[in-house]
Structure formats: C-alpha cells, structure tokens
Amino acid sequence: MRRPPAAPAGPQSLVVAETEVDTAQIAMKNGDQLWFAGPHAAGLAVGRLLPGAAAPQGRFALKRRRARALAKSERQPSEHLLDPAQLELYPAPPRDWTRLDPSTPPALTAAADSLVTDFTSYMRSRGWNTDFFNGSIRTLRIVTGHLGAEAPIQECDIRALASMSADLQGARVINYLRQRGLLATQPPTDPCIARARHHATAITRPAFSTAVHTFIDVLLGQGSTSSRARSPKTVENYVGAILATLEVWIADGITDPREISRKHIEDVLEPLRGDQARRLHTALRSFFRALKRERLVFRDPARSASLTSSRSVPTALPSDRIASLLDRLGDPRDRLMVALVAVYALLPGQLAHLRRSDPDSSNPHFFVTRNTAVDDSGPPISAGVVQLLFQRVGLPASRLRVDRIVDEARHSADPVRLMELFGLSNLSATRYVLSAHPERKTSPIVP
C-alpha cells in the first residue's frame, strides 16, 4: 500500500458541523458534515431558498429560529438613548455612523418598536408597497434602536446613516418623523449658495475671497444694512460671472479690490459682445456697489463704466427645428411640458411650480417625479428635470418661448395683449411687435 502524501505545512483543523447539503449540493437528512479546514478545505456552501419554495423545516430551521430568538432576547438597549429632559450644554459634533456595527443591533425600546410598527402601517395606508420600502424601515429601526424615540432625532443623523448603503433610505423616514414631531430639522443649505460659497473660498487672494463672501452676504440681504434678498440662483450666477475676471486681475498682480479702476473694468468688457458682455457688466456693477456699501472699497469703479451693445431682436424659429418636436419624446410628462412651452410660452420655473386645481395626491404640483410624488412636504420638481428635458430635445425652453411670442405678435400686433398673455414688460412687448412688424418702426404702435 502506498503511503499518502505528506500533509502540507501549516496548521490544520478538523471541523464537524451540521449542514443541510453536502459539497455536491445534495440534500442530507439528519446528517452532519466532516471536513478539513485550511488551504485544502472543501468549498462547502449552504443552498439558498429558491423563490416560491416552502420555508425550511426540520431540526436545522428550528435551531436557527431558536438561535435568532435567543440572540434577540439577549440584546440590550443602546447606551446612547436620547433623553428629552437632558438640556444641550453645547452643540455636539455630527455622529460618525460609519463605525456602526450592524451585527449586534441594540434592542428596541417600547416606544421605538411602536414607532416602527406605526411607520409600516402608515406606508400601507398610503397605498405604498412596503416590499419596496424595506430600506426605509431598516433605517428607522437602526436610528431609533441607537437613539430611541423619546426625543427628536437630528435630520443629519438620518441622512448620514442613509448615505452609507444603498440598502438604507432616509427620505420617507424624514417626512414621517417630521409629521410625528420627532425630527430636529437640519438647517437648509441651498446648493446654489453652497456652490457660490465654495467658489469664494477657492479664490487664492484673501482680500478678493473676503470681498466675494461679503458680496454674497449683501445679495442674501445679510449685509450691514437691510436689503432685498436675491434668489439663490441669482447669487450663484452673479458670483460665477465675475470669477474669471477676478482671476485675471489676480494673475496681473492685483492683490486687493481697492486697486481696481474704471479702466480695468472697461478692458475686460471691451472684447465681449451681446449677452456675455451685459451679464459681466451687471455682475461687476452689483459687486462693487456691494463692496462700496460695506466699505471694503473707497470708490465704485464700475459706476461710471458704460457698456455699448445692441439688444438682439426676437426672431422666430426655423420651421424644421420645431417640426415633429413632440415625436422625439416618448414620456407623456415630457411631451406635455414641451407643449405647454410651445403653446403658452411658460418659463421653466413656471413648469416646475405649476399646481393642480384639484389635487388628489400628497403632492399638489402638476408635474412630479418618482421621489416628489411620495414626499409629504409636497416639493416641486427640480429645475434640473426641466433643463434635462430640453437638452434631450436639443432646443432651449427660452428659445421655444420666444418663438411662441413672436408668432402671437405677428397675428395681433398689440403689445398690450402680449403683456397680458405672457407677462411681458412694456418695453419687451414693444420689441416683439417691432420684430414681427418692422414697418412699424417709423410709425407709432396703435393697439
């Protein structure tokens, strides 16, 4: 008889364990499996339950259920439960949920268990399929397991936890806790303002960086004197318009906004034309006006800087650009959005905030997405949804709106009607009529 080969070097172990299938995936009844562990161990795998198959029975399934029940009974409540009677001595830093150990979840308190049960019932009452929202239930179970349900939970904790895994979802948890009065709302951070602040901080010269931050404060109505707050998008546009110019001045060796003269401004405006020149001119005038008011500059160099440019005349679109426009879109919502712009000349912001006259859902807006439709706060769709639609069409919404107004001006030639239909100013309505009827430039416009 030949001797078996020598055992490989290294520790070896003999393992005996219960199993339902052997290494060939053949079912074993009342059997145990013996194998060697280590480099030459058999790749033993336990078969998964197939869809539609009955739940496993027998001593293995019973022992697993008993083990789970025992582990659950041995869980202890979290050591970090929030106490509503405990006053906050100082703002605590955000919790680090990445150190969470999911293998040993704490036991739910009675209040937390009741809250999770009520959350599940709430989703069923809304007609939602709870099979698709297990991530939301799991998120609420984890956060209430560690923090309890006696005191409001920070919104930032839920968002931080949900960001850790695709199996965790926080939006519906936030909405539900807000309704129950158990949410400590996170101070809103507008993405436009956040980007503007980021650009201001990234400027290499401290004096210019401080000046742009001050400019943002003034635009938001937070300067030394009260003023009308501009929209976050306007703030971002103004900051974005002046960034390249500021970098040019910094590259030329200018270290402080107080060194900027009228000639500096005229030099950067001189090569520009049209909307690009007007946009920069407007932003620079607003920038230096804000710095003068906040006493960061001694004089306003942009006040006397003039811009000579002609305004473009509104023109109609070529017929081939709007032919079969709706046929390029398959989604009914997208087709309706384009039709409303083409027929009623709505602005993208008006599309996003268009409301239903008889809402029968949780969101009162006419257009919704998969997320906004189930958001109990009823938010409008984002501007990005509308922008992405018209990018796919290959035609800006503003250009389609101009075409519609020009077409109306051709038929009516009445600026007052254009003002009433499309919310235009007197000057804009007159420009549309003169564009559609050039012969009237030498004669007064009579309604």
Nearest Cα neighbor of 321 from 393, 388, 389, 398 is 393
pLDDT of residue 33: 55
Cα(78)–Cα(145) distance, integer angstroms: 7
DSSP character at residue 37: E
pLDDT of residue 32: 57
Residue 282 — φ and ψ, nearest 5°? -65, -45
pLDDT of residue 10: 46
pLDDT of residue 371: 77
Question: Is the Cβ–Cβ distance between 130 and 137 less than 8 Å?
Answer: yes
| 40's tokens | 């030459």
pLDDT of residue 42: 46
Question: Is the Cβ–Cβ distance between 158 and 170 less than 8 Å?
Answer: yes
What residue type is assigned to position 290 of the chain?
A
Task: Report the predicted TM-score, pTM, of the whole model to 2 decimal places.
Answer: 0.51
Nearest Cα neighbor of 219 from 122, 125, 290 is 290
pLDDT along the chain (447 residues), means of 10: 45 53 60 53 47 56 70 71 74 79 80 92 80 86 90 89 87 88 81 90 92 93 85 92 93 92 90 84 92 90 75 73 77 88 87 76 80 77 84 86 90 89 88 85 53
Question: Is the Cβ–Cβ distance between 109 and 149 less than 8 Å?
Answer: yes
pLDDT of residue 102: 67
Question: Is the Cβ–Cβ distance between 204 and 173 less than 8 Å?
Answer: no
Cα(345)–Cα(339) distance, integer angstroms: 9
pLDDT of residue 237: 92
Q: Which residues contact 32 (CB under 8 A, 6 or more apart)?
A: 16, 17, 18, 19
pLDDT of residue 143: 92
Nearest Cα neighbor of 115 from 58, 176, 188 is 176
SS3 118: helix
State how beta strands 183-184 and 153-154 pair. parallel
